[in-house]
Amino acid sequence: NVVWLWFNLDAKGSFEAKDGKLGTGNWPGAVQGWIARARNAKWRPTKLNVAKFSEEFNKWWHGLQPEGREQEPDCFITLSKVEGVEWGSLKARGMNGIASIVVVLARWREGIIAMPHSKPREMQARDLQISRFEEALEEVVYVFHAME
């Protein structure tokens, strides 16, 4: 769903990358490594600390949001749904735009899949990351829909 929404948003701009780029403040470190390697599709971080990555994504995501979107109580990443939001720089297209969000979500998912989960404590840590990932995915889908 998120990939389809991203595709539609980029298609509305005729797939041109003329709308700037997303902010890089608090960018997840693994993404910085990928960018530094010219977005090599085969490159992966040697060992992704998924808990740290999810916190970095959370900070980055919140930093990208327009004014008026506030943290929802008891949520990891979900922000308030506000009418009439000016999405501004979040509408950035091309490889420096919202495609970066899709890539970050893909890396996060890969990291979760690779997490050990044979012991109870490992399963608990993995379940927490799955829950956070699903919440983040819902939040991104909401924003992509709102920008359509």
Residue type, 71: Q
Q: Give the span between the Cα atoms of 36 and 40, in whole angstroms.
A: 9
Residue 29 · residue 11 · CB < 8 Å: no
Q: Give the span between the Cα atoms of 15 and 78, in whole angstroms.
A: 28
Single out the residue of 66, 104, 101 nearest to residue 85, CA to CA.
66
pLDDT in tens, 16-69: 655 567 766 777 776 776 677 766 677 666 678 999 999 999 999 998 898 889
Give the residue with greater pLDDT, 33 vs 87.
87
Q: Rounded to two decimals, what is the model's pTM?
A: 0.83
Residue 64 · residue 91 · CB < 8 Å: no
Q: Within 13 Å and on the Cβ side, how many CA atoms surround 12?
A: 13
